[in-house]
Structure 1
Amino acid sequence: MKEILEAIEEQDCKKVENLLYHRIDELGDEELKDVLEKAEKLAIECEDFELYKLTVYYFHELLEIDKLGEFEKLAEEKDTFEAKFELADLYYLIGELDKSLELYRTLLEEETAKGNVENVAKVYYSMALIHEELQEYDKALELMDKAIEIYEELGNEEQLLRIKIHRAYVLFESGESYEAKALLAGLLPKVQGKSDLLVEVHLSFEEIFEEDENYDAALQECLYAMIHAKGTDYEEVAFGSLMDVLWQLFLEDDFETVYLNVDMFTNAFPDMADFFEAVKAIALYKDGKISEEEVSKYLEKVTDQRQIDLLEFLGEAEL
């Protein structure tokens, strides 16, 4: 909490936003309310509508405090693209998809008339996310292609690659997994040196392989994603994907795949070796390869409470 309050005091909106996104779970309700109120005030003062959206969203989702009307009033008063764009995204985040689409369509007309092509591209992509959520994949792909065309004209390589990665994932969601893998493979050489994009590519591959129940390949993709995510904002996302795969394997009693593959992670992340050795021990125990006494020795080495909770999550709370 101290770090977030210091960032608010420094009026560093981007840092506050980043800390809220990654550290929000560490705060109790009273601390959370205090931090959000201060962050909300800062966002309004600095007219940082992305931060403001985040605070309103957390008030809604975590504290059940409705500040949507205040955002709507502010967006109407400011009447800027930024304010209305973030309000439309907030509608999307809280599940008000029709309202989100309606506002995006209004913005699309306004920004097209003004000739603000970059804003038009942002709106096309945001609308595509809604149609993806609605499982209207053809429409989502159509809108993504429109955004891609604009970013190609603008020469915005990073955003272009990001949308192409997501487009490949939408193709996978629509049932075209082979085409999706081919597109991702073509993008892989282009994102070398760009850690965040590499993580996105590998996590897309991971989901495709997991859907195919090719868990060896899915775990390898988790490994690559975690390596590239080390020290970045994507670290938690990559680790979360690994935990999802491990959980699925435990659900399916596929313990062998776990204990044959987990040494990759032990060797790649020596700072988490005790945790991964404990995961392996649990899998061996559940497969009847080692005794309860033996697995307990590995579990006792894990001292980080979050890691202990994750081990219990994998189904061994009684050990």
Structure 2
Amino acid sequence: MEEILKAIEEKDCKKVASLLYYKVDELSDEELKEALERAEKLALECKDPELYKLIVYYFHALLDVDKIHEFENLAEEMDTFEAKFNLADLYYLIGELEKSLDLYRALLEEETAKGNRENVAKVYYNMALIHEEIQEYEKALELLEKAKEVYEELGKEEEVLHVEVYRAYVIFEAGEPYRAKALLAKVIPKAVNNSRLLAEIHLAFEEIFEEDENYEAALQECLYAAMSAKGTEYQDVAFDSLIDVIWQLMLDDEFEMVYLHMDMFANAMPELADFFEAIKAIALYKDGKIEAEEASKVIEKVKDRRLLDLLEFLGEAEM
């Protein structure tokens, strides 16, 4: 909390956004309310629509406070691509998909008329996200192809690869996992020095293997994704994907697969070693290998409230 408040005091909008994103789960409702109210004043003072989007979303999703109208007013007042683009993304985040698409279509017309090709590509990509969400895969792929063409024209190689990874994921969602894996493999040689892209690739592979119920491969991809994602916006996504796989294994009573793999994660992420040891203990207990008292002693080593909540969640998986 102190770190967030200090960044607000220093008027470092990017740092505030990053800290909120990574630390929001650690805050109590009272702390979160205070942090968001202070950050809101900063975002309005600096007219930073990206930070404001995050604040309004957290108010809506975590505190049930509706500030959507305030963002709409800000976007109208600023009348910039950045403000309206972030408003469209906010609509998407809160599930207002038609509103989001309508605003993206208006932006597409405006930015095409102005000749702002990079903005056009961004809109195509974000529109594809929505069509994939509502399972309109052909339309999503069509929009991704348009985004790719624009980025190729602009010489934005990293963005081209980013689009290709997501295109592979949509193809998997459309029911072609082998074609998707082949496309992902094609990107790997071009992404070896790019942690962000590698994290995206491994997260896509994890989804494919999990869908196929190949959980051992899915766990391995979770490890690769976690290692690649460190310091990127995919760090929490990779962690959440791992928890999802462990949860599914617990539901399926695949306790042995869980406890045999936790040392791998503990060694790769020593800062979370106690947490993974606790998951291992829970799985061993559920499999009848150790007594409840022994498992409890291991779990007691974990002090972080968020991690303790996750352990409780995983411990109740079969109920």
TM-score greater than 0.5 by the shorter chain: yes
Question: How many Å separate the matches in 1 of 2:270 and 2:69?
Answer: 49
Q: Secondary structure at the match of 1:262?
A: helix
What per-residue deviation string (whole Å, max 9, x for no partner) do you get for residues 59-91 of structure 1? 222222222222222222222211111111111
**Residue segments in structure 1 that go unaligned for 5+ positions in a row:** none
Residue 282 (structure 1) aligned with residue 282 (structure 2): yes
* Other-structure match for 1:227: 227
Q: Which letter maps to 1:234?
A: Y
Higher relative contact order (CA 8 A, sep 6+): 2
Give runs of aligned pairs for residues 197-236 of structure 1, distance below 5 A.
Answer: 197-236=197-236
Question: How many Å separate the matches in 2 of 1:169 and 1:7?
Answer: 36
* Other-structure match for 1:62: 62
* Other-structure match for 1:7: 7
Q: Secondary structure at the match of 1:253?
A: coil
Q: Structure 1 residues 284-293 or 55-64, which shifts more?
A: 284-293
Question: How many Å separate the matches in 2 of 1:85 and 1:304?
Answer: 36
Give runs of aligned pairs for residues 158-307 of structure 1, distance below 5 A.
Answer: 158-307=158-307
Q: Secondary structure at the match of 2:86?
A: helix
Residue 26 (structure 1) aligned with residue 32 (structure 2): no
Question: How many Å separate the matches in 1 of 2:233 and 2:106?
Answer: 33
Task: Give 1:214 deviation, angstroms.
Answer: 0.3
Identity of aligned residues (%): 72
How many pairs were matched up? 317
Question: How many Å separate the matches in 1 of 2:296 and 2:66?
Answer: 47
Q: Structure 1 residues 247-256 or 220-229, which shifts more?
A: 220-229
**Residue segments in structure 2 that go unaligned for 5+ positions in a row:** none
TM-score by length of 2: 0.93
TM-score by length of 1: 0.93
What per-residue deviation string (whole Å, max 9, x for no partner) do you get for residues 196-247 of structure 1? 2111111111111010000110011011111222344433221221111111
CA change 1:236–1:252 in 2 (3 A) is same
* Other-structure match for 1:309: 309
Question: How many Å separate the matches in 2 of 1:57 and 1:3?
Answer: 21
* Other-structure match for 2:150: 150
CA change 1:277–1:63 in 2 (3 A) is closer
Q: Which letter maps to 1:175?
A: G
Q: Contact conserved, 1:282 with 1:316, CA < 8 A, in 2? A: no
Task: Give 1:297 deviation, angstroms.
Answer: 4.2
CA change 1:64–1:186 in 2 (3 A) is same
CA change 1:276–1:67 in 2 (3 A) is closer
Please give the root-mean-square deviation of Cα atoms over the aligned residues, in Å. Answer: 1.9
Question: How many Å separate the matches in 2 of 1:271 and 1:29?
Answer: 26
Q: Contact conserved, 1:196 with 1:229, CA < 8 A, in 2? A: yes
What per-residue deviation string (whole Å, max 9, x for no partner) do you get for residues 15-67 of structure 1? 11111111122233333233222222222222211111112222222222222
* Other-structure match for 1:141: 141
Question: How many Å separate the matches in 2 of 1:270 and 1:69?
Answer: 44
Question: How many Å separate the matches in 2 of 1:84 and 1:302?
Answer: 43
Task: Give 1:316 deviation, angstroms.
Answer: 6.2
Question: How many Å separate the matches in 2 of 1:120 and 1:12?
Answer: 29
Q: Structure 1 residues 251-260 or 145-154, which shifts more?
A: 251-260
Q: Which letter maps to 1:132?
A: E
Question: How many Å separate the matches in 2 of 1:97 and 1:306?
Answer: 31
CA change 1:116–1:252 in 2 (3 A) is same
CA change 1:283–1:100 in 2 (3 A) is same
Question: How many Å separate the matches in 2 of 1:50 and 1:127?
Answer: 18
CA change 1:304–1:34 in 2 (3 A) is closer
Task: Give 1:284 deviation, angstroms.
Answer: 2.5
* Other-structure match for 2:36: 36
Q: Contact conserved, 1:43 with 1:49, CA < 8 A, in 2? A: yes
Question: How many Å separate the matches in 2 of 1:285 and 1:35?
Answer: 40
Question: How many Å separate the matches in 2 of 1:206 and 1:214?
Answer: 9
Question: How many Å separate the matches in 2 of 1:141 and 1:71?
Answer: 30
CA change 1:258–1:118 in 2 (3 A) is same
* Other-structure match for 1:131: 131
Q: Contact conserved, 2:25 with 2:306, CA < 8 A, in 1? A: no
Q: Contact conserved, 2:121 with 2:150, CA < 8 A, in 1? A: yes
Question: How many Å separate the matches in 2 of 1:64 and 1:122?
Answer: 30
Q: Contact conserved, 2:26 with 2:306, CA < 8 A, in 1? A: no
Q: Contact conserved, 1:278 with 1:298, CA < 8 A, in 2? A: yes
CA change 1:270–1:20 in 2 (3 A) is closer
Question: How many Å separate the matches in 2 of 1:94 and 1:304?
Answer: 29
